[in-house]
Amino acid sequence: MKFKVVLLSHTPEPEKVVATAAKLCYSNTTIENIFERLDDEAVKNFLNFLVEVGHQSPLEHVSFTFGIEGVSRSFTHQLVRHRIASYSQQSQRYVKMDGFDYIIPPNIEEDEELKNIFIETMAQISQAYAILSEKLQKKHFERFKMQGISEKEAFKKAEKMAIEDARYVLPNACETKIIMTMNARELLHFFSERCCNRAQWEIRAVADKILELVKEVAPNIFKFAGPKCIKLGYCPEGKFSCGELERVREKYLGKKREKHEDN
Whether 81 is catalytic: no
Strand 4-10 relative to strand 85-89, pairing: unpaired
Which residues does 38 contact at the CB level (< 8 Å), separation at least 6?
Answer: 16, 19, 20, 23, 46
| Active-site hit among 185, 194, 204, 249 | 194
Q: Which helix (H) or strand (E) holds 215?
A: helix 201-217
CB 71 within 8 A of CB 103: yes
12-45 per-residue burial string, b: 16 or more CB within 10 A, e: under 16: ebbbbbbbbbbbeeeeeeeeeebbeebeeeebbe
Q: CA 176, CA 202: separation in Å to the nearest integer?
A: 13
- SS3 state of residue 198: coil
Contact between 92 and 177 under an 8 Å Cβ cutoff? The reply is: no
What is the distance between the terminal CA atoms of the chain, rounded to a whole angstrom? Answer: 37
Q: Is 177 helix (H, G, I), strand (E, B) or coil?
A: strand
Which residue, among 89, 84, 86, 64, has the nearest Cα to 9 in the 3D structure?
Answer: 64
* Residues identified as active-site: 194
